[in-house]
Chain A
């Protein structure tokens, strides 16, 4: 984008050379991160792999020696049709939620960029309030809003002339997921909006003005200038949404606790919890966790390859 003078080109070449001469520098920079990741996640990761090959229940946690069962946990997991039902639902839920969240988030970010300071601050504060609300509090409020007997949603719809008195939103899986989607999207959009907005601020106004003067339509400007500039941020934000939405836990768990058919609303997060904390079958829970890890890698492979290619 910037046209380089010969002198600058030379400096660039020199600095590349200098970098080559100090090969230890990047390792030094990575050291703290690697150290803390090894410390905090190394053991749990190994433990999880190891446990997934054992018969490991509460008795083993209380000192009985675990028994090596090889792949038996995985075999049992994959033989259970319930696993595949949960996987299918989770993937669908994840993709739909991630897509809605990212689209809305980008729109809100563009909105933030397009408006004056005061209205932007109002929008940012509202977004942040939603983001800052403790999960326990926001779930409680959302469950109230959709309560069958005294929820505001039913009250408003009834007031609008539709008879929604005593309508139970959580009874049917589809309507359960509708409520869950509203909540998850509401919670996630602020993060996407803030990140993309931060990315947008990196685009210099002059470039935009020049493009506008050259007669580029807003649409053209979005696809030709804005999108390429925020792409690194957008890619990673999308990837993270996919990762998070695939194993969404707290929201589903609390909605289920409010009264829903559990078996037909379980997603991967709650299913791991049910196997682990609930049934104390830590071997199976670990096997499922490892499977979710693999599944996430598979789902994001396209992205990851893309990111890597872009990177090199």
Chain B
């Protein structure tokens, strides 16, 4: 192991360099958002771009907070997103298990149906979604939006997790059972850790989908006090027909919307790589 690393060091260094460059390229628009959030609107509209926020201030953030509705919108978004992620992962995990570990009648049709359901374009569905939620009296509720979100994200998550479950040879589990573990024990000791990266990857995906979703929320959450963060953010862009949009404030608000995602990722990112450790079990 050690000798190998030494042998590859120049290549590794080059790879790290490339990685930093790629990271910089990908983060540039994010930097631009942050930079702009610190600058006044008048500077943002000038022809010479200002690359550093020198002379900037936190005024935009202050103004955004002063507007007052950030915290309720944050609460709404957190409630909806967490509900969606938890139920989505749970349902998808069970279903992925069913289709990758069992052979049963109707399996193929289920697999196909799940695959095709996500191919339906959402742009034309809003009237039906509204009518559905109105008849269930679930307009302006966390439950109503979460149901639609889980349904939208679960097909993908099943497929994603199925890939990961399929990546774990069943023989491993069975070998463990021979070694005296129960089926459930074998599953949680052997298979589950190997699935963790997959669960995290799909969890991050589900989180972001729910966090940034906009169209469904717009139709289902019609009351101002139930706005999620993307609706709240949109309010800044389209504040008024008669006054110019304050782009500095939009960028400050955007930054605030992105922060919880970063925090969420920081919490789970360790699990993304834990597969490496788990992989050792395989041998």
- Are A and B in direct contact (Cβ within 8 Å)? yes
Q: Residues of A at under 8 Å CB distance from B?
A: 1-2, 4-5, 7-8, 11-12, 15, 19, 23, 25-27, 29-30, 32-34, 36-37, 39-41, 43-45, 47-48, 61, 108, 111-112, 114-116, 119-138, 140-142, 144-145, 149-150, 152, 155, 186, 189-191, 194-195, 197-199, 201-206, 209, 212, 229, 232-233, 235-236, 239-240, 243, 247, 249-250, 268-269, 272-273, 276-277, 282, 285-286, 288-289, 292-293, 296-297, 300, 304, 307-308, 311-312
The 5 A-B pairs of least Cβ separation, nearest first, read: A137-B254, A201-B275, A40-B151, A126-B23, A232-B163
Nearest CB in chain A: distance from B47 CB, A: 4
In the complex, chain A residues whose CB is within 8 Å of the CB of B98: 25-27, 29-30
CB pair A40 B254 closer than 8 Å: no
Give B contacts to A, CB under 8 Å.
1, 4, 11-12, 15-16, 18-20, 22-24, 26-27, 29-30, 32-33, 36, 44-49, 87, 90-92, 94-95, 97-99, 101-104, 107-108, 110-112, 114-121, 123-129, 131-132, 147-148, 150-152, 154-156, 158-160, 162-164, 166-172, 174-175, 177-178, 183, 194, 197-198, 200-201, 204-205, 208, 211-212, 214, 229-230, 233-234, 237, 247, 250-251, 254-255, 257-258, 261-262, 265, 269, 272-276, 279-280, 282-283
B174 near A130 with CB under 8 A, answer no
Cα–Cα distance between A123 and B152 once the two chains are bound (Å): 29
From A111, A121, A233, B164 is in contact (CB under 8 Å) with: A233
List, sorted by A's number, 11 A–B pairs whose CB atoms are closer than 8 Å.
A19-B102, A23-B104, A30-B110, A37-B117, A116-B16, A149-B47, A198-B200, A199-B163, A203-B279, A289-B120, A308-B108
Flag if B95 contacts A30 (CB, 8 Å): yes
Q: Which residues of A contact B214 (CB under 8 A)?
A: 135-136, 250
A198 near B201 (CB under 8 angstroms)? Answer: yes
Q: Within the complex, which residue of B97, B112, B194 is in contact with A202, where a contact is CB–CB below 8 Å?
A: B194
Besides the known contacts A134-B212, A135-B212, A145-B29, 8 further A-B residue pairs in the complex with CB atoms under 8 A apart: A2-B172, A41-B117, A41-B120, A137-B254, A198-B164, A232-B166, A272-B124, A282-B127
